[in-house]
Structure 1
């Protein structure tokens, strides 16, 4: 194993004192549930938990060392090697900056109101065809997620892909300064987290912060069809970016979709990538996925890589957990249903995209489309109207039954046809039994909502309940 960091690197952290001898460093961790032997555990103090409560567990699981705050080391003096620092999160940020400084890899950063995680994952897959590509496997896009993703980047990486998120103005600035991308992508500007902004223009300005950290002469990749393209372009032009590359379906896009044939499980795209024609298959559903593939190909072109090879990689793409993941689940009495798990998070744009994909999903004879919708958060005063505005997309989704959760969904409920209103509950937990009882063979069940609603537990309960019932029935069939 090649050490990710050396003993000297750890002792070089600002104000660091080493107690004990660390083992070889293979990774960085802030979570003992996923810690691997050889990881250095950073005891970050968060809003809900303090990493110092888990230091002994980390060291007992084989952590190479634990980075702890000055004054807390006495509690772990016999547990293993410690790196004592004035500020644990600041130490992680320093290590992240050191990783950025030492790499010769090409660095890409992605932000956007919707689609940033999917685009980051697609870039990891596509760029992986050309060399070792480093990117977080989860949505590590905040004040601790970005530095830990940097700190985990092997020195030999040919490419690094970083997702940068925000809930408030000013949050992207320090993160893009750490990442220092040579290519920065904005997937979209939509009224997501609008409750923290006076107007959607403020969201565009916050997303535009990503260009402030760009390397000189870098490339800004922007959504040409978005209503806030000009505002984003102004931010890019005011930065050190050398040029702007746009993507979309409109005539002015540098990377333009000539045709998108969106299907229930996959899509076909024909595109013009700055004069190069290419046709390719995307191995997952969603028109929004097809549009964001244009941003990926724009990045590939900016890096001077083979566009055809990159496009062909898209056939192997699969949805991540909670982001359109599909599972066929056996029912105890025979037959099966299709679970479409969109439960990772939700906002008005992603909700519409998920409903549009539900409309494309084929339903066998006797089956129905069932939409389980939990409310969307961080919309502020726009929340009630945003939920009312889902009525048309829900009807267009061809949903036969709708289950809704949360007080904000009461704004949608009376605007739906009475024939499709199945049940409403104050919390997603109140729908578990009702949804399970309603499912019949051939049904397609799509689950979508904001993370705080815990609607993901409803999706998990459907998997567990029917897998368990199926096992008891002795059919031997389970979720696939």
Structure 2
């Protein structure tokens, strides 16, 4: 029988809580009754809805006990503050897996995909643990820590932010041995008076909790590399560079799109490499090298890393491809709908331009959010990358995308609509055999609705996957 994740005695020792029931064992930790598994410890957090309202539902779903801040019915551990107790549980999990190598990933673009690619490599190397979905904030990070099994040998955590001073406490919770910053760009700009430089400094907070002698894996091609490298070295980190820049420890020398993925050419510590990946987005050239450097820092061999990259498929909404049947043939739909900012949008557009197409290349774009007062300019400037990518038609949805629509030449305009929902019929009527359609936008602007609608309207031929976020 598998060892429990937590015993009630361990929970009491970590949190200082009071047990109100007989001793129990928990096989997991949950904050959401919709995903709770039988045997989980349910943590009743305060939020838009008070988690204490769902203790009964958790019990009905088979929870082992509830972690609460005031008495409820059923088996429970009572603490003054459930979020602080969750943090304490996370710290205890970190300390009991004392020999585990921990990594942390942040960045304006690609942190979820890079984290999950790392997780694939760690899983091949032995008992491992990783963030799921995008559990990267003040709740997701301690929750991921609290779920870490005691036998873990390696773990990787995703770390995100919207404001300054958010990453520092998360990094100190994780205490990583290696960190990666995928890139820095104009994301969450409305929260930084000093603009993109402020974003860069906020990302540099990832070094705050780095263990002595830790490694910082940084994008040598990013305009903020010098700032980030300076901050990393000031924190005592050994800097490892990835990208096309001369002198990078992992230097990208070539990227060739293939059927179902791409082939990366690089020089790693002076050794020429050529390896396949299942991602076709050009940004996965440098991303794959960041993965290899992070795996190296977490004591995973190169061959294991290459094997993981060869099998790692694009994540939903981050470049997964599907072939849909239309009258007279089929179309290739590239789902980049999970999120968008100027950096990821430009990368996705470039990948669309490089994608083989028997018909037209069609971009379907919804608003990029949280860009601050320069938002109209960021949208309008996408006209340049779209021209370079030889996009045949561009469909736009949302008030911010109106700026791009007006910047497009008439020959490239497909249609503009106020909302993603209102654009669906226009896109569906326009696509034809051989077309490649890329859909991208911020979560809040509902790009995913367009993907779902097109997938429902046209018979899906296969669920193949290609390009990636």
Which of 76, 86, 90 is residue 92 of structure 1 equivalent to? 86
User: Which stretch shifts more, 343-352 or 436-445?
Assistant: 436-445
Structure 1 position 263, deviation (Å): 4.5
Which residue of 1 is the match for residue 52 of structure 2? 52
Unmatched 5+ residue regions in structure 2?
A: 465-469
TM-score, structure 2 normalization = 0.94
Paired residues for 1:270-281 under 5 Å: 270-281=265-276
Please give the alpha-carbon distance, in whole angstroms, between the structure 2 residues aligned to 1:442 and 1:33: 40
Q: TM-score, normalised by structure 1?
A: 0.92
Determine if contact 2:14/2:92 at 8 Å carries over to the other structure.
Answer: no
Distance in 1, Cα, partners of 2:339 & 2:51: 26
Residue of structure 2 aligned with 1:436, choices 428, 439, 461: 428
The answer to whether 1:115 aligns with 2:116 is no
**Cα separation, 2, equivalents of 1:21 and 1:441:** 65
Task: Tell me how far apart the structure 1 counterparts of residues 288 and 228 of structure 2 sit (CA, whole Å).
Answer: 19
Q: Write out aligned runs for 1:365-380 (5 A).
A: 367-380=359-372
Does the 8 Å contact 2:367/2:441 carry over to 1? yes
The equivalent residue for 2:64 is: 64
Q: 1:247 aligns with which of 228, 242, 248?
A: 242
SS in 1 for 2:26: coil
Return the match for 1:342 from 336, 340, 347.
336
Structure 2 residue aligned with 1:230: 226
Query: Per the alignment, in what secondary structure is the counterpart of residue 292 of structure 1?
Result: helix
For the 8 Å contact 1:142–1:165, the answer to whether it is kept is yes
- Contact kept in structure 1, 2:18 and 2:79, CA below 8 Å: yes
| Residue 327 of structure 1 pairs with residue 319 of structure 2 | no
Calculate the aligned-residue CA RMSD, in Å: 1.8
What is aligned with 2:149? 154
Q: Alignment length, in residue pairs?
A: 461
Cα separation, 2, equivalents of 1:3 and 1:392: 55
Aligned counterpart for 2:215 among listed residues 214, 219, 244? 219
Decide whether aligned partners of structure 1 residues 328 and 239 sit closer, same or farther in structure 2, where only a CA change above 3 A counts. same
Quote how far apart the aligned CAs of 1:13 are. Answer: 4.3
**Structure 1 runs, 4 residues or longer, greater than 6 Å off:** none
**Greater RCO, 1 or 2 (C-alpha within 8 Å, sep 6+):** 2
**1:184 counterpart (160, 179, 183):** 179
Equivalent in the alignment of 1:461: 453
Partner residue in 2 for 1:406:
398
Separation of aligned partners in 2, 1:405 and 1:49: 32
Cα deviation for residue 59 of structure 1 reads 1.1
Distance verdict in 2 for CA 1:478–1:296, change over 3 Å: closer
Counterparts of 1:133-212 in structure 2, within 5 Å, are 133-197=128-192, 198-212=194-208
